[in-house]
């Protein structure tokens, strides 16, 4: 049973947050400072949606129809005086409707995704687990490695999707897929294309 809130403030970003992913942010715009303060005071998440049109700063951007809840796990005042936070990706959601408030903060009515069924990794795709582990070790993503689930197709798919150097549109399509094994097949094709373009 989903405990997804019915409405969340939205942080529009030029990236995709996947469930279980770590998102570090430097907060400087008043609308987002106020949003983060409210979320921290109330212990509530905010939503992250990738930008369809517009920019991260200034006027509210146009957002994609699917995003991910972000739960604040840490915060600090940075050396440059800005607020730094770390958030972890939670449940995926669909944007049912949205409105831009006077301060240019987007608020969205949301509905949950259908939960993915647990799935193993097809034998011909076992190499993706090795690639994912190597990528996480390369970027020293210790938090992901501590929670590693190398036999789980959903976990491997999300970690690989956020780690590969692929276009935003490809990341978004992988977020929206609700078949963990199909996500792995799509990722395998992307890995093959990357290797063809960058042969060792």
Residue 60, token pair as written in the block:
């509210």
Looking at the chain, the number of H-run helices and the number of E-run strands are: 6, 6
Alpha-carbon gap, residue 48 to 142, rounded angstroms: 23
Domain around 129: 123-197
Domain boundary among 87, 112, 137: 112
Same domain, 84 and 136: no
Contact at 8 Å (CB) between 129 and 156?
yes
Average pLDDT, rounded, for the chain: 91
Q: What is the pLDDT of residues 66-77, one digit of tens each?
A: 999 999 999 998
Same domain, 102 and 164: no
Same domain, 66 and 148: no
Same domain, 102 and 167: no
Q: What is the pLDDT of residues 9-60, one digit of tens each?
A: 999 999 999 999 999 999 999 999 999 999 999 999 999 999 999 888 888 8
Q: Kindly state whether residue 79 falls inside one of the protein's structural domains.
A: yes
What CATH number is associated with residue 95?
2.30.130.40
Same domain, 108 and 127: no
Task: Work out how many domains the chain is built from and give that number.
Answer: 2
Half-sphere exposure of 135 (CA within 13 A, CB side): 20
Closest CA to 81 of 28, 37, 7, 33: 28
Q: Kindly state whether residue 2 falls inside one of the protein's structural domains.
A: no
Residue 81: how many other CB atoms lie within 10 Å: 7
What CATH number is associated with residue 190?
1.10.4060
Same domain, 164 and 73: no
Give pLDDT, residue 117: 86
Same domain, 79 and 162: no
The dihedral through the CA atoms of 120, 124, 125, 128 has a sign that is positive
Domain boundary among 58, 91, 112: 112
């Amino acid at each position: 049973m989903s405990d997804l809130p019915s409405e969340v403030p939205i942080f529009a970003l030029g990236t995709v947050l996947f469930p279980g992913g770590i998102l570090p942010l430097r907060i400087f715009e008043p609308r987002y400072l106020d949003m983060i303060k409210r979320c921290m005071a109330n212990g509530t998440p905010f939503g992250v949606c990738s930008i369809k049109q517009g920019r991260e700063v200034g006027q509210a951007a146009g957002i994609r129809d699917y995003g991910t809840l972000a739960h604040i796990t840490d915060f600090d005042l940075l050396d440059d005086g800005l607020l730094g936070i770390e958030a972890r990706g939670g449940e995926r959601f669909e944007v049912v409707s949205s409105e831009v408030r006077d301060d240019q903060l987007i608020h969205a009515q949301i509905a949950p995704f259908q939960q993915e069924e647990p799935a193993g990794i097809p034998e011909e795709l076992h190499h993706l687990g090795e690639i994912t582990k190597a990528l996480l070790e390369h970027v020293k993503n210790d938090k992901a490695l501590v929670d590693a689930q190398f036999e789980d197709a959903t976990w491997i798919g999300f970690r690989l999707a956020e780690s590969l150097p692929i276009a935003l549109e490809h990341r978004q399509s992988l977020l929206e897929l609700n078949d963990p094994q199909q996500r792995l097949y799509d990722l395998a094709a992307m890995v093959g294309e990357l290797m063809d373009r960058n042969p060792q």
